[in-house]
């Protein structure tokens, strides 16, 4: 078993040390049975459609979700719910070709002792005795985020929390990295472990789509890739400059199923894949979700960045925590206390010591991120595993659709269905 010690990030004011186990009724207006009866929260209902074009709807000059999120976030800031004022943190673009962004955030790790984390097991069961997001105070929750019933955007300032429906919610991160830093917690009352599924990833893409801002990105960290809370969640915030990874060159690998284009990142310290296009938001989401599920099932830690209002998704397998546990990371890098999760890998590097911030350079940033990346040989092995898995997923979906058609018409459809496996001359065909 591989473990590392690190200072855990405090995401909620009610987060306790691992040694502390919360008991029954708390009386603090949380999201558990002791406090839920009769509770209400704002509800943002977004239009969900089967063939949501990836352009058009989010080209409006005004996006209500954007305004709602920032208004509620600023309200919590005025109420003093954050551990520090992130707007006072120094930030700069590091000179150089790639434009890495450095932030000095000395408040993110103070007054917290290091905790052990297992880093060699991406899938772990949910443990209700450890901190999870049902233990946050309702004042930290900005709104419920659910599909609308009539295909139109709706906002209800005070909507009941329907326990049976296990709503998805947006809550503040009390240790923000940037302005508007929030958590998207899918189906919060189901207490899902930190593992991506098709529904949760599609929900994240819908949130990016509804925010309709080029500055708003969502990120995901798997266990073993610097997620510290094993309760399914995404993070999101606003950054008014491009992430360096968004500007990196890429090489197209293939046009996959349903118009989804898959590319490989080039000239960047961390190797990864880019997914974009597709005939619908759901088409893009399905391919990315199948990729993430493949990585999880093969115990490969990874991070995900969702950018361009949900039109472009980066999937980044990594091995930094494993190297750290094996003693293969230099003390110089470890002393910076940088935990290279999705934001750092994307080029927004949060530094906790003033000397590191003042001495930040492109060479140092590249060296740190290069330690995160898989080797070229291992990366190509992982890509082969991914393409085999997502091709099989496409075939299974096609067969399922064929069976549904059979049920409808009472006979079998004729003709083969195929999925392309990049790097091979043939298709996988199922008659």
Q: Which of 147, 209, 188, 257 is nearest to 12 (CA)?
A: 188
Please check the confidence at residue 267 and state whether its pLDDT lies above 50.
Answer: yes
Name the catalytic one among 98, 109, 231, 233: 233
For 385-399, write each residue's pLDDT tens digit.
999 999 988 777 777
For 357-387, write each residue's pLDDT tens digit.
999 999 999 999 999 999 999 999 999 999 9
Region label for 290, one of left (φ > 0), alpha (ψ between -120 and 50) or beta (otherwise): alpha
For residues 29 and 231, the model is more confident at 231
Question: How far apart are the two ends of the chain, measured CA to CA in Å?
Answer: 44
- Can 233 be counted among the known catalytic residues? yes
Residue 56, class by beta-carbon neighbours within 10 Å (0-12 exposed, 13-18 middle, 19+ buried)? exposed
Please check the confidence at residue 214 and state whether its pLDDT lies above 60.
Answer: yes
In this predicted structure, what is the pLDDT of residue 149? 86
Please check the confidence at residue 48 and state whether its pLDDT lies above 90.
Answer: no
Please check the confidence at residue 143 and state whether its pLDDT lies above 80.
Answer: yes
């Amino acid at each position: 078993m591989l473990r590392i010690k690190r200072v855990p990030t405090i995401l909620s004011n009610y987060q306790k040390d691992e040694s502390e186990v919360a008991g029954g009724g708390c009386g603090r207006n949380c999201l558990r049975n002791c406090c839920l009866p009769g509770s209400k929260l704002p509800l943002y209902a977004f239009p969900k459609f089967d063939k949501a074009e990836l352009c058009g709807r989010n080209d409006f000059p005004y996006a209500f979700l954007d305004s709602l999120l920032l208004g509620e976030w600023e309200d919590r800031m005025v109420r003093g719910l954050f551990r520090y004022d992130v707007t006072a943190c120094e930030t700069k673009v590091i000179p150089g070709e790639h434009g890495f962004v450095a932030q000095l955030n000395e408040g993110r790790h103070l007054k917290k002792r290091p905790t052990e984390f297992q880093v060699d097991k991406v899938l772990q069961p949910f443990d209700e005795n450890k901190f999870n997001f049902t233990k946050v105070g309702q004042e930290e929750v900005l709104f419920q985020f659910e599909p609308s019933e009539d295909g139109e955007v709706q906002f209800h300032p005070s909507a009941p929390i329907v326990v049976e429906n296990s709503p998805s919610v947006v809550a503040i991160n009390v240790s923000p990295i940037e302005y508007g830093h929030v958590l998207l917690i899918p189906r919060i009352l189901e207490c899902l472990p930190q593992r991506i599924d098709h529904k949760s990833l599609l929900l994240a893409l819908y949130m990016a789509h509804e925010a309709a801002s080029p500055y708003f990105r969502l990120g995901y960290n798997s266990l073993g890739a610097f997620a510290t809370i094993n309760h399914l969640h995404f993070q999101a915030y606003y950054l008014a400059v491009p992430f360096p990874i968004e500007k990196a060159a890429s090489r197209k690998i293939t046009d996959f199923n349903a118009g989804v284009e898959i590319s490989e990142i080039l000239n960047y310290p961390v190797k990864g894949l880019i997914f974009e296009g597709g005939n619908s938001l759901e088409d893009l989401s399905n391919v990315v979700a199948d990729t993430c599920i493949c990585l999880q099932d093969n115990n490969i830690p990874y991070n995900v960045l969702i950018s361009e209002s949900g039109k472009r998704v980066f999937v980044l397998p990594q091995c930094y925590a494993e190297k750290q546990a094996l003693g293969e990371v230099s003390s110089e890098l470890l002393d910076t206390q940088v935990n290279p999760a999705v934001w750092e890998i994307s080029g927004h590097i949060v530094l906790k010591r003033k000397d590191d911030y003042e001495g930040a350079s492109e060479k140092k940033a590249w060296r740190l991120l290069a330690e995160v990346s898989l080797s070229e040989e291992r990366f190509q092995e992982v890509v082969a595993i991914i393409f085999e898995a997502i091709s099989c997923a496409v075939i299974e979906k096609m067969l399922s659709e064929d069976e549904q058609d059979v049920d409808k018409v009472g006979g079998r459809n004729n003709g083969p269905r195929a999925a392309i496996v990049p790097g091979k001359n043939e298709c996988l065909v199922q008659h």
